[in-house]
Each structure stands twice: as C-alpha cells, then as structure tokens.
Amino acid sequence: EVQLVESGGGLVQPGGSLRLSCAASGFTFSSYGINWVRQAPGKGLEWISYISHTSSTTYYADSVKDRFTISRDNAKNSLWLQMDSLRDEDTAVYYCARDSLAAPTAFDSWGQGILVTVSS
Amino acid sequence: SYVLTQPPSWSVAPGQTARIPCGGNNIGSKSVQWYQQKSGQAPVLVVYEDSDRPSGIPERFSGSNSGNTAILTVSRVEAGDEADYYCQVWDSSSDHAVFGGGTKLNVL
C-alpha cells in the first residue's frame, strides 16, 4: 500500500523556521517526483514545490521562493521541506503528493497532511 | 501566471448528473486533472489527463476538455459525492502546478 506520512508541523512564530518531513513507503520512492501542496484554513489547494526523482530539478511557487527549500534522500525514502522566514499567511495544512507515472502532471497519492500554524 | 476559474458551488439532486466547469485560457491545450476532497480528508485524484480514471474510481466520474473549458461530469450523483472538487493543470511556461479555486458539490 502506498503511504505518505507528513510530520514536523506545529506552532511557530513569524520569522521562525520549521522543517517538514514526508516518509514514503509501499512504492519505489526513487522513481517518483514529489510535490508539496498546502491548504490554508477554509481555503483551496495551493501547489508550492516540486522535486524530481533524482533531485536534479526543483520548482517553487512565487509565494515561497527563496524562503522554502525542498529536498529528498532516496536511500531513506524521505522528503523534506525547510521553511524559513515564516509568515502568518503560511499557516496551512501541508500535504506531500506523489507524481503519477502514467501522467506526470497529476498527483496520484497524497499524505494525510500536517498543520503548520504561524502566529505570535 | 495561468489562472483556473471554478464556480464556488454547484447543486444537484441525487441520481442526477453534475457537470462542474473549470475555465482557463486555451485550457483545451493542457492536460487537466480533477481531485475530490471530502471534509477533513486529503484530496483524491478522480480524473487525470482530461478524461482518464485512476483504478478504483467509479465510472460515474468522467471528464472532458476543449477550448477554454474543462468539465468534470459526475453521473447518477450519490450523497457520498458531496465534496470539494478541484481542477489542476501544469503550466509549462512557469513550471508551476495550478489549481482552480474549487467547487463545493452540494447534493440536495
């Protein structure tokens, strides 16, 4: 069974940092691109970052560029999102989502999400 | 940046057909995905590449895409289909994934 499990969320002050983790199991992690998608309370989905299966390519939404860093370790079946200079508007549930091999622009498996709250 | 536009809500009676639109400039030239998100749960992919269904998704869910509008069709709507539905594309000009604002499907 494909599983993606996020961890590392919590309450952080504005300007602070947090590192999210996504642990993968049940599939060959090293073959898949992975994304981070977030959802502010009561709002819609917002894609924020992508990393290719070899880590050679990364993309970021303008809203997080130069503040967030995506990385992965295929030997550990793990993905991370380093979040720096956090703002109130970064408060959201953060999901990791796997690219589909059949359709690489589709996200075919999602984690359960982890809540990040930025507040003083 | 590329924008996808969805109506905030859509209502349908049980057993009827819901056709949920997603508008975008020349969206017919892009590959469109649709996700279902029930309250308190993670999104689930229900249609990819305009009209294909992942395994396990009922045939009642289908999609089409042409011109400036993509459509998710939910046939024989059931109470359990009540959820938020999001369209999504990959914008190759910016190398960003883009989601529509979401449509809440209300089953009357």
Residue B46, exposed/middle/buried by CB under 10 A (0-12, 13-18, 19+)? Answer: buried
Q: Which residues of B touch A108 (CB under 8 A)?
A: 45, 48, 54
A52 touches chain B (CB under 8 A): no
CA distance A56 to B39: 36
Residue A108 C-alpha, separation from nearest chain B C-alpha, in angstroms:
6
Q: What are the φ/ψ torsions at residue A29 (nearest 5 degrees)?
A: -55, -40
CB-based contact A113 B49, cutoff 8 Å: no
Residue A5: closest C-alpha in chain B = B42
The rounded distance, in Å, linking the Cα atoms of A20 and A7 is 6
Residue type, B64: S
Distance CA A70, CA B56 (A): 31
What does the pLDDT look like over B66-99, one tens digit per residue?
Answer: 999 999 999 999 999 999 999 999 999 999 999 9
Closest partner residue to B33 (CB to CB) among A37, A95, A105 is A105
Give pLDDT tens digits for B5-46.
999 999 999 999 999 999 999 999 999 999 999 999 999 999
Q: What's the pLDDT at A113?
A: 98
The predicted pLDDT at position A91 comes to: 98
The amino acid that residue A106 corresponds to is A
Task: Report CB contact under 8 Å: B48, A102.
Answer: yes
Q: B86 and A113: CB-CB below 8 Å?
A: no
Collect all residues of chain A within an 8 Å Cβ-Cβ radius of residue B93. none
- Which regions of chain A are under pLDDT 70? none
How high is the pLDDT of residue B44? 98
Distance CA A77, CA A75 (A): 6
Question: Which neighbouring-strand residues pair with B76?
Answer: none
